[in-house]
């Protein structure tokens, strides 16, 4: 009987795969037997990850590229063609950025930067990889890393929230539109996770206390917990799940007064 809990031999592309959630996702997929291509802007960081993987003979590959650049998104497509002959089983759209400030304070250039990275980059890369993801047998899986900011109000960062809410809707559309091609699409929406990006604001003890008060689980999540959910959403065990946005938030989004 084929295992429902394996990713052995699957070919996986992860954007933002060298730190935080993306790094944990890459490690999780490698542990489950997948071949992994990580995309990030920092060539030195990619080289470090590849050197570590080489010691353990892990099938990890890397490409330095900026997902907000149209030309560099084309390089990603070309890399998949060269590496796996244009075959891809799993796409994890993880890369993202934020600028936290009140709505009336945003500059046009800041709006454009967030949308280019979080939304346009994800949208264009996903559609470019569509021919590689379509399957005649079995399923491919797309997992978009969204945020609870796309589900409910947070204190600042309306532009970031807009980009993540759009990702949640894109997830639904792709799940239905590409279902005939045997492509599933889901999203995960983390709350505060112990990553360098989140720690920029969580280092404020008063703010951290407020966050924990609003989180029924009473703690910050870990990158490994997000990665485990993403891995599950790509396994045969989840093949009847598509079009969903799963909050990984310790209960934050359902916490009333």
Give me the catalytic one of 106, 160, 239, 240: 160
- Measure Cα distances from 110 to 41, 96, 117, 153 in Å: 19, 14, 11, 20
- Which phi and psi (to 5°) does residue 97 adopt? -150, 165
Contact 32, 59 (CB under 8 A): no
Pairing outcome for strands 183-190 and 60-64: unpaired
Instruction: Tell me how far apart the alpha carbons of residues 246 and 230 are, in angstroms, rounded to a whole number.
Output: 10
Q: Known catalytic residue: 160?
A: yes
SS3 187: strand
Please report how the helices 43-55 and 20-31 are oriented relative to each other, as an axis angle in degrees rounded to 10.
Answer: 20
Catalytic residues: 160
């Amino acid at each position: 009987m084929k295992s429902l809990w394996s990713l052995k031999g699957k070919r996986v592309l992860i954007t933002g795969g060298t730190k935080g959630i993306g790094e944990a996702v890459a490690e999780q997929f490698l542990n489950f037997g997948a071949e992994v291509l990580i995309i990030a802007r920092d060539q030195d960081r990619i080289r470090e990850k590849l050197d570590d993987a080489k010691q353990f003979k892990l099938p990890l590959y890397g490409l330095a590229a900026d997902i907000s650049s149209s030309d560099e998104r084309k390089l990603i497509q070309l890399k998949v063609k060269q590496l796996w002959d244009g075959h891809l089983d799993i796409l994890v759209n993880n890369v993202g950025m934020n600028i936290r400030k009140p709505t009336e304070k945003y500059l046009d250039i800041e709006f454009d930067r967030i949308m280019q990275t979080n939304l346009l980059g994800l949208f264009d890369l996903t559609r470019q990889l569509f021919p590689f993801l379509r399957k005649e047998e079995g399923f491919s899986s797309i997992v978009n890393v969204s945020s609870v900011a796309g589900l409910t109000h947070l204190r600042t960062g309306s532009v970031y929230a807009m980009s993540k809410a759009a990702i949640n809707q894109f997830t639904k559309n792709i799940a239905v539109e590409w279902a005939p091609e045997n492509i599933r699409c889901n999203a995960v929406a983390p709350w505060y996770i112990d990553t360098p990006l989140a720690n920029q604001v969580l280092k404020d003890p008063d703010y951290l206390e407020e966050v924990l008060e609003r989180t029924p689980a009473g703690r910050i999540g870990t990158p490994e917990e997000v990665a485990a959910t993403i891995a599950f959403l790509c396994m045969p065990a989840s093949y009847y799940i598509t079009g969903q946005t799963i909050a990984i938030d310790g209960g934050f989004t359902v916490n009333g007064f």
